[in-house]
Structure 1
Amino acid sequence: MADKRTVTKKYKTMGKLTLQVLIPVMILFLGIIAVMFQSMLEARQLVYRYIEDTARLYVEQINTDIVKINYEVITLVNKNEKNYSLLEESRPDNSKYFPDLTDIMEQNRNLKIRYKEPCCFYLYLDRADMMILDSGTIFTDSQAEGVNEPLRTALREKNGINTPYSEWSFINDGKEDYVYSRYSKNGITMGCAIRLNDLFSTLHIDSLGYEGIPYILKENGQILISSTDREKVDMEELKGEFGKKTGFLSRQAVYSFPISGIIGDNRNFHILITPTGGILEKIMRLQIILVILSIGM
């Protein structure tokens, strides 16, 4: 009986020692796991913050240029209204106005050089249905190509409608999406067109295996996004209200940036930040595997 009591006492003593050792070890493991997960979250947040801050700087520059473009277009129309009106009599077979048309083309060319975003500037005379670009003049019977065709169609639909400021709207030439401005006063309309792909290219930012994919969500639910990025994302998911997802289990985040200079269907760029399987994601997966192996051992 004494031997049994001794053995039982030894087992109890060993059990207490095991618990005394196991509990601190488990607490230590839990602490290590918490620190690792926190560091992983902070690393991801750091990448998100870098992409967000960089995109914000680019958007501010775009906004600044667009505000300047709006101001310059309005100033030119108000300043040269009478001279522009005289060109309504211009015809392809009448060389009388060719020097004036050349001056306006040069003016539009200089504007295009001064601002990097627009692909073209134009002056449209509503009553003559004539559009003067930086590359030439399109008369009412002339054939228009590329963005000039949907641009002229859009201007014809709004023929004679004055605007108190530069209005911005979206058009598509069958291949690409554009946003164009229109300031109209007394039959004289002036503005520019910008390829959305050019804006998206500026705002597409990569960092440590994460990429910021820019897009515009219109009020009607249509998503305008670069053709190269269209296959990378779930279009239906983008239509939802993502908010700001930056938790550990959420591997994507969406940030919105106001477009202060564009007045139209939508006034925000959205940047979807998503992993591409780069070095940061690989390190995170390795840490998770190491934690699981440590617990298993």
Structure 2
Amino acid sequence: MRLLPKKTGKPYPVKHYVNIMLFILFTALILDFIISYASISIVKQQSTRYLRDTADLYINRINHDFAYINHYMGWTLANDEIMKTMDKSQTASTEFLKSNTQLHQRFTELQKNYGQGYNFFFYIKNKDFFLNCAPLSIQYPDYLELKKQVISYTQDKNIYERFYSEWTPIHVKNKYFIINIVPYNDSYLICLISADELIRPLRAINLGENGSVSLINEKRESISTPIGAREKQLQQNTFKPALPSLVQSQTTVSRQFSNASFRVQMIIRFGTFEKIMVAQLLIILLALIIALTLCVVMLYFNKRVLKPIQSFSDNLAQLSEGGRDPDFESSKLIELEDANLQFKILIEQIKRFKIDIYEKELDKQRIQLDYMKLQIKPHFFLNCLTNIYSMAQMQMYKEIEHMTLSTSKYFRYIFQNGQNFVRLKDEIDHVRVFLDIQQHRYRNAFRYQIEELIDTQDIHIPPLVLQTFIENAVKYAVSRVSEVQISLSVSRLIEHHEDMAVIRISDSGPGFAPSILEKLVSGHPLDQSDGNHIGIMNTLQRLELLYRRKAEIRFGNREEGGACVTLIFPFHPPESL
């Protein structure tokens, strides 16, 4: 499409082109402003939604912890022989001291599971005996003040409604704590946690430079300690946004705990978005300045540039119509004469571009394979860290060394492997590392056996294929009820005059569900909406792209119980990718 007339005639004035340019530029500026504002709003909404979901997950976890601890203390008071022995025995007797030690050990384990921030105490009213039954995370003066308050609370007839049915904030030595008192006859079990400790995980979230997290009681007062002067100012609402009409700089997320008389409040500050808006306005202003400058430039170079370009366009039209080379001898610009040669070179480049398009399609397939190949579930890494942390708490140093080394080997193999095919021996070694990691987690819940042939070790297969099905076996077959056997065997088969490697993965678990097995056997895709079956479907797609139906996967359930997956690969991988 040509902007200038095909034949010699009345030329368009420069104003015509300036108007077109200004119209396009003005439209682009408006679109840029709309898109920028929409982008800021969308990012803000998504960030707020993410923080709300995070708060909901946190609240649900704390509600579960509160409910379990409350139930555990109630059951201990009502049914545990330890408490009955302590209630009947004298405080200086051997039976009382032995029961006290057992109770301390039990609640120490409970504290390890739910965090050192939880403090546990018991009080026997008729013996006036008050003592902690787990390691303390509060200072001794706070302990003495708490003891006085708890003893006074036990005199209240409404202690059941006030402290047992709800987790209630109390004020001890200028600090707020959350307390739950479980009464049974004249015995009481108490759980206490600092308000600041309760919201410590939420304070680790990035809520903006001026964001804050706090606990609010029924009187809408903050019962958590502000962090620095900034958070104090936030609680007093002294922050004023720079652009209140364009961007709302503050969003408040509030969530109520169940069985508690307080709630968590997250104040999200979006000062960064105001800076983005200012930057967008500066960009628009800069574009306007550039547009005015271009208008002056176009007027200045009208006779020196536009007219020679019009002549050049006419010559190109002659080339398009008659097929003969254009004549640039009368051109006043040497650059336009050079453009003739570049135009001829361009024709040759177009031919090469067609070949490049085909090659880019192949690259696109490679990228798709790499994406599916390198998908890693982040929760696996977090589980590894959690296991190492648990071992550290139990002082299992040798197990920590082995677990750390296995985890390092596991992720080194994943991150350093950028090929489409790897040796079968390396893939099986990676599976061993994965199973060793899982054995640290499940202990004696499963055993595994790997059988491989020497002449099949150098076969090349796609990476992480075996791990997908081994991981599926661990996820769905392994339980802590009975020991599960996981087996991996490699054999050789000649099919259609071609050497094939047969890899069989089986387990002694419950096997595939009938509905899932029916879809796998018939080749229908599995439902991935809930985040399950992604690994199996990705593996099937990878094998289809790499082998073009020369590889085969068979799914089934064993007669003696358990799932069985058989993979058949050619000895020599295809070279198309």
Secondary structure of residue in 2 paired with 1:44? helix
Do structure 1's residue 155 and structure 2's residue 150 form an aligned pair? yes
Give 1:68 shift: 0.9
1:54 & 1:212 partners in 2: Cα distance? 15
Q: 1:206 to 1:163 in 2, by over 3 A?
A: closer
- Report if aligned partners of 1:256, 1:271 keep a CA contact under 8 Å in 2: yes
2:271 & 2:145 partners in 1: Cα distance? 36
CA deviation digits over 1:20-43, x for unaligned, max 9? Answer: 875665444223211111112212
Do structure 1's residue 231 and structure 2's residue 224 form an aligned pair? no
2:54 & 2:265 partners in 1: Cα distance? 13
Give 1:124 shift: 1.3
- Report if aligned partners of 2:208, 2:268 keep a CA contact under 8 Å in 1: no
CA deviation digits over 1:159-218, x for unaligned, max 9? Answer: 243516443222333354211111112121112111222222111243495675221221
Secondary structure of residue in 1 paired with 2:212? strand
1:20 & 1:213 partners in 2: Cα distance? 50
CA deviation digits over 1:213-254, x for unaligned, max 9? Answer: 22122122321234325632432339xxxxxxx995211111
Query: 1:286 aligns to what?
Result: 279
Query: 2:525 aligns to what?
Result: none
Do structure 1's residue 215 and structure 2's residue 250 form an aligned pair? no
2:72 & 2:245 partners in 1: Cα distance? 44
- Report if aligned partners of 1:178, 1:196 keep a CA contact under 8 Å in 2: yes
Which one is further off, 96-105 or 249-258?
96-105
Q: 1:197 to 1:136 in 2, by over 3 A?
A: closer
CA deviation digits over 1:76-101, x for unaligned, max 9? Answer: 111136334225x425xx55622222
Look up the equivalent residue of 1:153 and give its one-letter code. Answer: K
1:167 & 1:117 partners in 2: Cα distance? 21
- Report if aligned partners of 1:210, 1:273 keep a CA contact under 8 Å in 2: no
Query: 1:85 aligns to what?
Result: 87
Query: 1:273 aligns to what?
Result: 268
Q: 1:273 to 1:249 in 2, by over 3 A?
A: same
Do structure 1's residue 112 and structure 2's residue 108 form an aligned pair? no
Q: 1:61 to 1:145 in 2, by over 3 A?
A: same
Q: 1:69 to 1:237 in 2, by over 3 A?
A: same
Secondary structure of residue in 1 paired with 2:96? helix
| Count of matched residue pairs | 264
Query: 1:73 aligns to what?
Result: 73
Q: 1:116 to 1:183 in 2, by over 3 A?
A: same
Give 1:14 shift: 10
Query: 2:100 aligns to what?
Result: 101
Q: 1:166 to 1:79 in 2, by over 3 A?
A: farther
Query: 1:48 aligns to what?
Result: 48
Q: 1:112-151 counterparts in 2 under 5 A?
A: 112-116=111-115, 118-135=117-134, 145-151=140-146
2:289 & 2:86 partners in 1: Cα distance? 81
2:205 & 2:96 partners in 1: Cα distance? 51
Look up the equivalent residue of 2:47 and give its one-letter code. Answer: V
- Report if aligned partners of 2:108, 2:135 keep a CA contact under 8 Å in 1: no
2:71 & 2:57 partners in 1: Cα distance? 21
Q: Which runs of 5+ in 1 are unaligned?
A: 1-12, 138-143, 239-245
Which structure carries more helix by proportion?
Answer: 2
1:65 & 1:257 partners in 2: Cα distance? 16
Secondary structure of residue in 1 paired with 2:205? strand
Look up the equivalent residue of 1:163 and give its one-letter code. Answer: Y
Aligned-pair identity in percent equals 18
1:147 & 1:250 partners in 2: Cα distance? 42
CA deviation digits over 1:46-86, x for unaligned, max 9? Answer: 22222222232222222211111111111111113633422
Q: 1:102 to 1:208 in 2, by over 3 A?
A: closer
Query: 2:342 aligns to what?
Result: none
Which structure carries more strand by proportion?
Answer: 1
Give 1:105 shift: 1.8
Report the TM-score, using the length of structure 1 for normalisation: 0.73
Look up the equivalent residue of 1:155 and give its one-letter code. Answer: V
Query: 1:141 aligns to what?
Result: none
Give 1:148 shift: 1.8
- Report if aligned partners of 1:120, 1:193 keep a CA contact under 8 Å in 2: yes
Which one is further off, 194-203 or 123-132?
123-132
Query: 1:30 aligns to what?
Result: 30
Secondary structure of residue in 2 paired with 1:38? helix
Secondary structure of residue in 1 paired with 2:237? helix
Q: 1:107 to 1:289 in 2, by over 3 A?
A: same
Secondary structure of residue in 1 paired with 2:127? coil
Tell me which of the two structures has the higher relative contact order, counting C-alpha pairs closer than 8 angstroms and 6 or more residues apart: 1
1:33 & 1:63 partners in 2: Cα distance? 44
Query: 2:186 aligns to what?
Result: 187
The RMSD of aligned alpha carbons is 3.5
